[in-house]
Structure 1
Amino acid sequence: MVANKSNLHFNLKPVQVIGNIMPAFLAFVDNGDTDIIYPLARIAPLVIPALNAEQLSLPVHASYVILADHDSSADLDKVVSWLDNGADKVIFPLAWANKLVGVIPADRLVLLLDVANVSAVSDKLSAGVSGVLIRTPVADPELVSSISRFFTGSTIYVQATSSTPPSLMTIRQIKLSGATLAIPASQLTTRNSSPSHLNIADAFLAPVTSDRPDGLFPTVVSSFPQGGRSLGLVYSSAESVKESILSGKGVYQSRKHGLWRKGETSGATQNIVKIALDCDSDSLEFSVVQHGNGFCHLDRASCFGQLSGLSALEQILQSRLVSAPEGSYTKRLFNDPTLLRAKIMEEADELCSAETKEEVAFEAADLIYFALTRCVSAGVSIVDIEQNLDKKAKKVTRRPGNAKPHWSSKAQTKNSASNDERPIRMRNTSLAGISLTSRAELLKRPVLKSDEMIAKVKPIVDSVRIRGDAALLELTAKFDKAVLQSPILLPPYSAESMTLPDDVQAAIDTAYSNIYKFHAAQTDGASLVVETIPGVVCSRFARPIARVGLYVPGGTAILPSTALMLGIPAQVAGCKEIVLATPPRPDGSISPEVMYVAKLVGASAILMAGGAQAIAALAYGTQIVPKVDKIFGPGNQWVTAAKMLVQNDTDALVSIDMPAGPSEVLVIADHTANASFVAADLLSQAEHGVDSQVVLVGVNLTAEHLAEIEYEVDKQARALPRVDIIRGSIPKSLIVQASSVDEALTFSNDYAPEHLILHIEHAPDSVSKIQNAGSVFVGPYTPESCGDYASGTNHTLPTNGYARQFSGVNTQSFQKHITSQEITREGLQILGPVVATLADREGLGAHAHAVRIRLQASA
């Protein structure tokens, strides 16, 4: 293939290192002596003459550049081949410049110059390379400084043509001048330094300085590759570095015991991949492949804690390959190549179908898990993968980027196929033998980037706070596509605005009656009175929150049920002002169902606005919208973020009901569960939105029973009007297999679902074991739908795991509690000395005085 500008990467950014090494020197490989090439590759980039490029045997991790110093004409294809095959850079003569510069990326080119030709280099040529190699009879630091002004931003390498090796002082001075010395391998040795040969460790350490009294060098030990994770901090001496370079093993200097050959007694040895200087040449980094239990004396991979991410996953899979119990999911994947292949293809497909950032991350994690399982089963490590990535990154030729015909045709077929042809399935896992880390992952919801959303809604909230009604009307026109004259409707509401079919009105009336009855029973009416000691009476009594705002979402569904669930407890509690906020329809009207509920609950105003702008209007008030003291109601991420923002603003002086997230259900099912009932319950939650969280915990379900549930999910979903939403939520949903009801309930308590449905034998007996849930639905004939609409309980419930700390909305959510105390003279004589003693102890003299002055008066 002939290289040209269209298939080569082009980048003019210079780099200061070669192959991620900050080198003390470069090593010219002018012979094939592997006894010195292999130790050199651990500490320095190798310079390989072009004529020897294909003959030399190099270590796998060696960083090298090709020196094309012959006078023949430039061979562009050959240069591309060197770079594609792993060379970091090519050093080329001035005569080749016209064919290479501007075609090969600048960060892959180094210009070869005799010292006499330096001033002849044009600015264009200087900008087209990342560095220059200057050949000079003597390596003179002053000469380097004078040359550097011609090559601003480029790395300077210096090769002295002298037949004797440079002194350690020369290496140090060249390094301090900002250049790197190139030393022929024939002038280097693994033995002691002599007038004719320089020990490679001495050359490497020549620029290294230590500010420690003992002269040791701080040394960071990092894993290779594993993301360069730091394993620990140790110290090195010239002697330990020399032994490490020559042996390829981790050798350090113990401040108490002398040379420390890592793993000599524990077996946790290290293979040295690279030893590098830091930018100031006062500390070292050892990149190692760690063996055994790990680097730390506590048998951990790192002194700074356990591995995480891909490295931790690889470690777990390698362990499971050896010891996974028979029948476990991971063992099945290792033993069944067909299953593993199917899972990789399934997860790749789901990743391609993911839309949001969170979905892509979720599906990518699944795909990486199965892909790494495939690698571990084949004996392939992350090191092997990263070596291939590094090798591919060095290629300068572009691949066409087209998919193979086999996959292109599949993609076209899939894109043209109806969505109905794709099965609607949940993901499947088991609690048997699962690690704590993996179990914790099952309990997680999608990451809610609340800080990012708050930053997005803040301009909207600020606009309404500052500009009031004008901003509210503008934002309603923009987001709800409704042009209004006023954002508020006040009672009496017209009969025309709430015209409903008889059966719908009757259904709302029945739901209202049931919900009212249940919430009226929750009213905290009687005062609590307790005489704590004679003459000291403490009491607690409830008062309604005066002004409340109720947010009723619009969006993909009309939700009069939410208006009932929020309006009725506010009405029962006796709130004086009930402001109901809901997005208007494009014609400026509100759905008649919501209007009818507003009348039933006695709403004092209807705010015709949605989203963050509605929350802002409720929190701060406008010229016409009344300010409220507490905001209730679910909503999308914009509404949630706005609620979180305003509750933390002391200017707003408003509270909210609870944190909110996507709607969710957890269903526990055992052998008695009706598959069609279970599927229907899962789908009733999945249709809320593509981010809905749906979990089925199966208790010893047989493969046939589970398959029947999955079949019902797929069949019923296709018959539903919101099937497209379900197609987004169900594939992200989860089936978890448990071995007992107790294990299932423990998982549920840890998950803390918004809705918990029990399709299990003797379901009422298990209610006492439930610690965390928003609302519980007991038995096969208690669908979540009944609680959502009309049984009487409230459907505004904590999501995202907040059922551990929050209750669902109830009558007392709309009340506040005030305490009082009344103390008689006799009571103060008993209690006063106790209070005065404690006040004195805290150094609050005025508190003690307020008691003593009364005690003295009553004496």
Structure 2
Amino acid sequence: MFIPSLDLSDSSQSSLHSAIGYIGTSLLRNATIDSIKALINETGSTGYWAPATSLEEAIQLWDTGIYKVVFPASVYADIKEDLKDIAQERIALSASTDASFSSDVLFDTSAMVITMDAAFEQLLAQKAFIESVAEWKKCLLPEGGSRRVVVELKGPTSLDTITALQKAGLDTLVNASQLTTALEPTGTDINIGAAFMACATTDRPDGLYATLVVDELNNALGLVYSSVHSVAESIRTGQGVFQSRARGLWYKGATSGATQSLKHVDYDCDGDALRFVVEQHGAGFCHLNTRTCFGQDSGLTGLQKTLQDRKVNAPQGSYTSRLFNDPQLLRAKIMEEAEELCDATDKDEIAWEAADLIYFALTKCIGAGVTLADVEKNLDKKARKITRRAGNAKPKWSGASPPAATAPAQPPAPVAVVNDGRIQMEKYSLDAISEEKQAELLLRPIIDSTEITARVSPIMKDVRERGDKALVDLTKKFDRVDLKTPTIKAPFPPELMQLEPKTKAAIDQAYANIYKFHDAQMDRETLVVETMPGVVCSRFARPIERVGLYVPGGTAVLPSTTLMLGIPAKVAGCSEIVIATPPRPDGSVVPEVMYVAHKVGATHIVLAGGAQAVAAMAYGTETVPKVDKICGPGNQYVTAAKMLAQNDTSCLVSIDMPAGPSEVLVIADKNCNPAYVAADLLSQAEHGADSQVVLLAVDMTDDQLAAIEDQVHDQAMQLPRVDIVRQSIPKSYSLRVNTLEQATRFSNNYAPEHLILHIDNARDLVQHITNAGSVFVGAYSPESMGDYASGTNHTLPTYGYSRMYSGVNTLTFVKHITSQELTAEGLDKLGDSVMQLAAIEGLDAHRNAVAIRVADIRK
């Protein structure tokens, strides 16, 4: 692409500031801090480059908002070590074509600006140079993106030159004195839009370019086409101008009034698709009078639009009108919601409270004429800064007070530290810690359920009293979904369970394995024991008739949990299977879950999550059948609701098990594969910040343990959920032990949800495992297999409950009934013993029930 070189001391170039700002990237010459600030405020762009000859000057430029600082290669070589913590994308070098410097210097920077005296044809003829540029650009930046080589030519530049250099992988630096917004340039002048488009490509016969139009928050408004002429005109006028295939040049909104102010124009990595960033005015981009061609706004942009409308049109006395007109009320609500967000601990609760805070904060912004785009501009400005404040809270918020002479010194609270940005577990050695510390390592974080129970109880009461209406109201409140009915009854419409063939095949394979294993668990034979002649005792299984299965989700897709709960219920023969899962934003159920619900024979799907879903199944509503047992994982609110329901005798419902954060314990020896061990640790750590991850390293050297630690860091850095891993891994630990016996003893005391054995002869150790939810034996048995499709169940006891609870299985959904049948001979032989025991307990009616029969037998 081409990059303008803008001289901020040349007043004749000031008329080009806006046009160059639309393109974004520009190398500034003769700039001062004040002139840079003025330019950024004028154009809104934060993509500028500027030269610097010292570290101090560079820091000042970065803090002002400059994107890349360009150092002379000789200067950079001297200060390279001082810049090692600066992202490579913020650093560029400048040199002449005959300059020599090491490749190490090149690979620590993101761009090279080369000044040359020869004609560009001579540069392109230097094949070794062009090949080295290609090799250098293949090495992507650590932050993502390509490295760039920018050529500064002496004398005027032409469009053909820009195109030729682009094809060779080189960008062209063009002096702004040669640029113009005139559509028909004179002399050697170049139209800015034409220079920009000289690097774009299209394979369309009509020569048009596909153009995605987005707003300032990068939300897609619609898809149009552009030409070189329309782009040049858009940059000249500062408006959205496109090329209609039917009507020619199209000035957006010229007739409808829905005009667009141009903010930025660029193209994608291949140069074959344009993006116009605009501020949309009027009713919207679409001819259907919606802001986008993809329907109504949602999320933050939808909220902004609503608040902007309410500011003008809110009915007098409405709550929103009060907020706009009562600054004290608005301030109080912001402070209140900020406090509730700070106190929130659960993921769903944090999201809920954050949404409340954002609503009131955005109300204040809209009231002051501040938009989300204005907020993002300030975020971008802050992101450009290199110098950081300490970031400490003010005393009134931190709780700090002036030191008092009599105040006792308090040790600092322990915090999880990530050293040097490294993702690393805490490390302990069994030989080096006390028995008290060993006991501490066995503990899980203490969960105070008092506050959660206080939040859940009113929800349970509301559903019990108001039934479906409460369920609909609570789903609208918590999930932002407005339902007509909270229940879908079988048979489920086929169009709601359409799946890609690969997904359907994967679900069917998992279904077959899980069904086979759980079918084998079913008690189908009646146990018959003759305890003595004439006395026959029996035990037989019967299904729990009505069961409720809770499947977490909403925006997530969790067919695996539906399989793990639904299949054993189907095998057991439950006559009514009710599945509760949060609805998607459009009120539907994800088709994968719907498909599994159909396969397991579910009778109802409840479109609700959280405590309200548990209450609906526990008490029953107009459309939700009351169930006898509720099973399934969930957050702290779901767990609290299940416990409350089980303890409510008027409810008469049981649950599968208590639950805590998910956890894994890995036992590994010196012959393990470090990459496999790290992958298993991370597969659990990504569940949530409170996930419990433990590694027992058996007789390992420092180097062997370090190999696992390196893999943990390296693999974690590649994960999309690395931010969660950064929180969970530092709270986890590795414990070095000398023998497998020590590891087994510690594991049995810990009683993990998942136990993975990365040891020689792993199968032999299983007989010594007394406490675990599920055991994964050997290097080729990752936890993921049990989570999805091997056949075992993934709904397992956590928090140490594997000492006394089993994971969900077929017997979870049955109860056992006993029977006894006595002959006259049997009653005669056993009767005296029973009468004696009843007499000792003083239960004469019990004694008489036997005595009256024995008397007849013995006549």
TM-score (norm 2): 0.52
What is residue 687 of structure 1 aligned with on the other side? 686
Q: Is the contact between residue 487 and residue 607 of structure 1 (CA under 8 Å) also seen in structure 2?
A: yes
Instruction: Give a deviation string over 1:639-674, Cα, whole Å, max 9, x none.
Output: 001001110000110000001011110000110110
**Alignment pair present for 1:391 and 2:390:** no
What is residue 521 of structure 1 aligned with on the other side?
A: 520
SS at match of 1:492: coil
Q: Which residue of 1 aligns with 2:576?
A: 577
Task: Quote how far apart the aligned CAs of 1:357 are.
Answer: 7.3
Is residue 662–residue 799 contact of structure 1 (8 Å, CA) maintained in 2?
Answer: yes
Q: Cα deviations across residues 330-369 of structure 1 (Å, max 9, x unaligned)? A: xxxxxxxxxxxxxxxxxxxxxxxx997799xxxxxxxxxx
**Which amino acid is the alignment partner of residue 738 of structure 2?**
S
1:696 and 2:695 equivalent? yes
Match of 1:609 in 2: 608
The one-letter code sitting in structure 2 at the alignment partner of 1:391 is A
Give SS of 2:405's match.
Answer: helix
CA-CA distance at 1:393 after TM superposition: 3.9
Secondary structure in 2 aligned to 1:391?
coil
Aligned match of 1:822: 821
- Three-state SS of the structure 1 residue aligned to 2:710 is helix
Q: Map 1:348-497; keep pairs closer than 5 Å.
A: 391-393=405-407, 422-497=421-496
Amino acid at match of 1:628: V
Which residue is equivalent to 2:535? 536
The aligned runs of 1:583-594 (5 Å cut-off) are 583-594=582-593
- In the other structure, the counterpart of 1:97 is none
Distance in 2 (CA, whole Å) between partners of 1:650 and 1:421 is 55
Note the C-alpha offset of 1:501.
1.2
2:640 aligned partner:
641
1:809 aligns with 2:823: no
Q: Which residue of the partner structure matches residue 712 of structure 1? A: 711
Q: CA 1:628 to 1:358, structure 2 compared with 1: closer, same or farther past 3 Å?
A: closer
**SS of 1:761 mapped into structure 2:** coil
SS in 2 for 1:537: strand
One-letter identity of the residue aligned with 2:619: Y
AA aligned to 2:703 is E
Q: How does 1:30-429 map to 2 (within 5 A)?
A: 391-393=405-407, 422-429=421-428
Superposed displacement of residue 555, structure 1:
5.4
Note closer, same or farther for the CA distance 1:573–1:358 as it changes in structure 2 (3 Å cut).
closer
Deviations, residues 275-318 of structure 1 (Å, cap 9, x unaligned): xxxxxxxxxxxxxxxxxxxxxxxxxxxxxxxxxxxxxxxxxxxx
Note the C-alpha offset of 1:423.
Answer: 1.4
Q: Which amino acid aligns with 2:849?
A: A
Quote the Cα distance in structure 2 between the aligned partners of 1:802 and 1:555. Answer: 28
Contact 1:358–1:446, Cα closer than 8 Å, also in 2: no
| Structure 2 residue 763 is the aligned partner of structure 1 residue 764 | yes
How far the C-alpha of 1:723 sits from its partner, in A, is 1.4
Deviation at 1:510, TM superposition (A): 0.2
CA contact (8 A) 1:666 1:694 kept: yes
Indicate whether 1:663 and 2:662 are aligned: yes
Q: Distance in 1 between matches of 2:724 and 2:555?
A: 10
- Supply the AA of the counterpart residue of 2:710: Y
Aligned residues: 456
Superposed displacement of residue 428, structure 1: 1.0
The ranges of structure 1 where at least 4 consecutive aligned residues each deviate by more than 3 angstroms after the TM superposition are: 354-359, 392-395
Offset at 1:690?
A: 1.0
Structure 1 residues without counterparts, runs of 5 or longer: 1-353, 360-387, 396-414
What letter is aligned with 2:477? K
Aligned to 1:120: none
Equivalent pair of 2:632/2:656 in contact (CA under 8 Å): yes
1:749 corresponding residue in structure 2 = 748
Alignment deviations for residues 440-486 of structure 1 (CA, whole Å, 9 cap, x no partner): 11001111112332122101111111111111111101111111000
Cα distance, 1:434 vs. partner? 2.6
Q: Distance in 1 between matches of 2:633 and 2:731?
A: 22
Whole-angstrom CA distance in 2 between matches of 1:420 and 1:671: 25
- Quote the offset at 1:541 in angstroms: 0.3
Q: Paired residue for 2:141?
A: none
Shift in alpha-carbon separation, 1:744–1:528, aligned structure 2, 3 A: same
1:366 is matched with which residue?
none
- Kindly state the Cα deviation for residue 688 of structure 1 after the two structures are TM-superposed: 1.0
> How far apart, in 2, do the equivalents of 1:394 and 1:704 lie?
43
State the shift of 1:710 in Å.
1.0
| Partner Cα separation in structure 1 for residue 769 and residue 486 of structure 2 | 44
CA 1:674–1:693 in structure 2 vs 1: closer, same or farther (change >3 Å)?
A: same
Shift of 1:772: 0.1
Whole-angstrom CA distance in 1 between matches of 2:428 and 2:345: 23
Task: Name the larger-Rg structure.
Answer: 1
Asked whether the equivalents of residues 346 and 635 of structure 2 are also in contact (C-alpha less than 8 Å), the reply is no
**2:773 equivalent to 1:774:** yes
- Paired AA for residue 825 in structure 2: E
Q: Which amino acid in the other structure matches residue 487 of structure 1? A: P
Residues 630, 654 of structure 1: 8 Å contact kept: yes
Change (3 A) 1:476 1:546: same
Q: TM-score scaled by structure 1?
A: 0.52
Query: Could you say if the C-alpha distance between residues 723 and 479 of structure 1 is closer, same or farther in structure 2, counting changes exceeding 3 Å?
Result: same
User: Quick one: distance in 1 between partners of 2:827 and 2:536?
Assistant: 11
1:242-290 Cα deviation digits (max 9, x unpaired): xxxxxxxxxxxxxxxxxxxxxxxxxxxxxxxxxxxxxxxxxxxxxxxxx
What is the CA RMSD across the aligned residues, in angstroms?
2.2
Partner Cα separation in structure 1 for residue 344 and residue 672 of structure 2 = 34
- What is the deviation of 1:421? 7.1
Superposition deviation, residue 576 in structure 1: 0.2
Q: In structure 2, do the counterparts of structure 1 residues 394 and 492 end up closer, same or farther at CA, with 3 Å as the change threshold? A: closer
Deviates more, 1:433-442 or 1:784-793: 433-442
Q: Counterpart of 2:643 in structure 1: which amino acid?
A: M
Q: Is the 8 A contact 1:420 1:718 kept in 2?
A: no
Counterparts in 2 of 1:394 and 1:766: CA distance versus 1, 3 Å: closer
The 3 A distance-change label for structure 1 pair 389 and 741 is farther
Corresponding position of 1:619: 618
Q: What secondary structure sits across from 1:532 in the alignment?
A: strand
Q: Which residue number in structure 2 is paired with residue 849 of structure 1?
A: 848
Which runs of no fewer than 5 residues in structure 2 stay unpaired?
1-341, 348-401, 410-416
User: Hey, what's the Cα distance between the residues in 2 that align with 1:571 and 1:682?
Assistant: 33
Displacement of 1:392 after TM fit? 4.9
Code of the aligned partner of 1:812: L
Which amino acid is 1:565 matched to?
Answer: M
| Contact 2:548–2:578 (8 Å) recurs in 1 | yes
| 1:790-816 C-alpha deviation (Å, 9 max, x unpaired) | 000000000000000000100001000
C-alpha distance after superposition, 1:158-208 (max 9, x if no partner): xxxxxxxxxxxxxxxxxxxxxxxxxxxxxxxxxxxxxxxxxxxxxxxxxxx
Partners of 1:513 and 1:420 lie apart in 2 by 46
For the structure 1 residues 754 and 555, does the alpha-carbon distance in structure 2 shift closer, same or farther, using more than 3 Å as the test? farther
Counterpart residue type for residue 764 of structure 1? R
Residue 731 (structure 1) shift: 1.2
CA distance in 2, matches of 1:444, 1:625: 39
- In 2, distance between residues paired with 1:762 and 1:442? 27
Deviations 1:759-809 (A, max 9, x none): 011111101110000000000000000000000000000000000000010
Q: Secondary structure at the match of 1:793?
A: coil
Change (3 A) 1:613 1:858: same
Which deviations, in whole Å up to 9, do the C-alpha atoms of 1:364-415 show, x marking residues without a partner? Answer: xxxxxxxxxxxxxxxxxxxxxxxx98625499xxxxxxxxxxxxxxxxxxx9
Distance 2:554 2:422 in 1: 27
Instruction: Give the 3-state SS of the residue equivalent to 2:648 in structure 1.
Output: coil
CA distance in 2, matches of 1:529, 1:450: 45
**In structure 1, distance between residues paired with 2:462 and 2:834:** 50
2:735 is paired with a residue whose SS is strand
Q: Report the Cα distance in structure 2 between the residues aligned to 1:538 and 1:578, rounded to whole angstroms.
A: 32
Query: What secondary structure sits across from 2:820 in the alignment?
Result: strand
Share of identical aligned residues, percent? Answer: 63
Distance 1:394 1:559, change over 3 A: closer
Displacement, 1:435? 2.1
Shift of 1:433: 4.2
* Deviation by residue 1:560-589 (Cα, 9 ceiling, x = unmatched): 100000000000000000001100011101
2:799 corresponds to: 800
Shift of 1:846: 0.8
